[in-house]
Homo-oligomer: A and B are copies of this chain.
Amino acid sequence: MKVAILPIGNELLDGRVLDTNSKFLGGELAALGAETVCLLTVPDDLACIVDSLKFSSKRADFIIITGGLGPTSDDLTREAVSEFTNSKLIKHESLVEEIKAFFSKRGREFHPSNEKQALLPEGSTIIPNTLGTAPGFITKKDSLSIVALPGVPSELEPMWRDFVVPLIKPIKEQYVLGFKTYNLPESVVAGCIPDLEDVRVGYRAQFPEITVKIAGFNKEKVLRAFKIAKDSVGADAIFTEDINQSLPDLFKNSKKTITVAESCTGGLLGKLLTDLPGASRYFLGGVIAYSNELKKSLLGVETVDQFGAVSSETAMAMAKGVKGKADVGVSITGIAGPDGGTPEKPVGTFYIGIATKDDLKAHHFLYKGADRARIRKAAAYEALNILRKIVL
């Protein structure tokens, strides 16, 4: 199967938006054994979109269009496919009702311009969008299949997985195994995994997590390569073998209760611990002790004057102060920058304090050369990485 991907939108051509959909789709297609022969991004212009359909139709037998399905006048995917396939646009009353229901469910007013989203080229099959108002569709022109999906990644990905993938017959059955490592640069992970015969090794870095995926058509070789890859990276760095699971997700299995005291992360650790529902089983809450005054008044911290707000002593005092009735109290204090660094404690320095019934300690970290957002994220994730070993 030869596939062309056609992302539509001025925002993809003038530097406003990074196209992550095409990387996602390219990887998915490769996993299905299909070949992506070209990727042609064009602006919100009817003639350009039709032109790109013509170009692709000569090179591929399956075209995936992303974007251009919104309600505004510059959303032209429907019109372009209609012109290219010589078919009229038909209004689907069932879609009008669904879009109206989508708005009313959210207590928002339905705008007549949204009716446009119920128009599809004649002969199309609807690809339902449960997360937005832009339905996708699939249609044919002779032996060519054309799929149109919305450009919003959070809508595109489930529509792709739930409705398009089942339509594509995998050429050969593929075996995929993977794991996620924490806080190793992609180049280090890639460097320690040897060239593995007859399998494809894929990396995906989403700081501070790296996903390693081993895929191939020979089950035994994939299993063997998976074992070699895991041994190369080291068990300690691997936090899950479920590549759909993020580090904060592991806490849903926590057997212990947690409280947090955050300084430089300002609430990020608590936010991550409560991303998944059911967090109240293990997360009690805590204190955002951004100012030194709150460190004292809410946590009883008395170490700031002598040791500084960013010190192992203060981290321990914060963890101890916040623990309360929880099994573990965890604290973060550090210098997220860009200002506030000193030669002894440069920007990127942080301490994580841990208080349990029997133990009180602090861990020291230094993330050199990282920016504020990365340092804060690293600090929250380092705390999660320490926590997981205690509560799981």
Contacts and interface: CB of A to CB of B under 8 A. Distances in A.
Contacts of A27: 14-16
Given A13-B36, A15-B27, A267-B267, A107 B368 contact: yes
A76 B172 CA distance: 28
Contact of A297 (B31, B42, B324): B324
A26 B40 contact: no
Contacts of A105: 368-369
Given A202-B15, A338-B277, A72 B187 contact: yes
Contacts of A370: 106
A44 to B, nearest CB: 9
A84 interface: no
Interface in A71-129: 71-73, 102, 105-109, 111-114
Contacts of A368: 105-107
B111 A187 contact: yes
B37 A38 contact: no
Interface string A267-295: 11111011111111001111111110110
A102 B187 CA distance: 13
Residue from the set A39, A42, A111, A279 with the largest chain B CB neighbour count within 10 Å: A39
A12 B39 contact: yes
A274 B290 contact: yes
B23 A19 contact: yes
Nearest to A42: B38
Which has the most chain B C-beta neighbours within 10 Å: A133, A202, A338?
Answer: A202
A162 interface: no
Contact of A366 (B107, B191, B337): B107
- Taken together, the copies of this chain in the complex come to 2
Interface in A356-379: 366-373, 376
Contacts of A369: 102, 105-107
Nearest to A195: B73
Contacts of A112: 191
Nearest to A117: B187
Given A42-B38, A285-B288, A287-B285, A277 B372 contact: yes
A167 interface: no
B262 A266 contact: no
Nearest to A243: B16
Interface in A40-86: 40-43, 48, 52, 55, 70-73
A341 B287 CA distance: 27
A29 B107 CA distance: 41
Nearest to A283: B290
B111 A275 contact: no
A111 B185 CA distance: 10
A232 B283 CA distance: 45
Nearest to A72: B190
24 contacts: A14-B36, A15-B23, A15-B25, A17-B23, A39-B39, A39-B42, A40-B41, A71-B186, A71-B187, A72-B203, A73-B195, A106-B367, A106-B369, A111-B191, A113-B190, A262-B267, A262-B270, A266-B271, A266-B273, A271-B271, A277-B336, A285-B287, A285-B298, A287-B288
Interface of A: 10-20, 22-31, 36-43, 48, 52, 55, 70-73, 102, 105-109, 111-114, 131, 133, 185-188, 190-191, 195, 200, 202-204, 259-260, 262-271, 273-280, 283-291, 293-294, 297-298, 324-325, 336-339, 366-373, 376
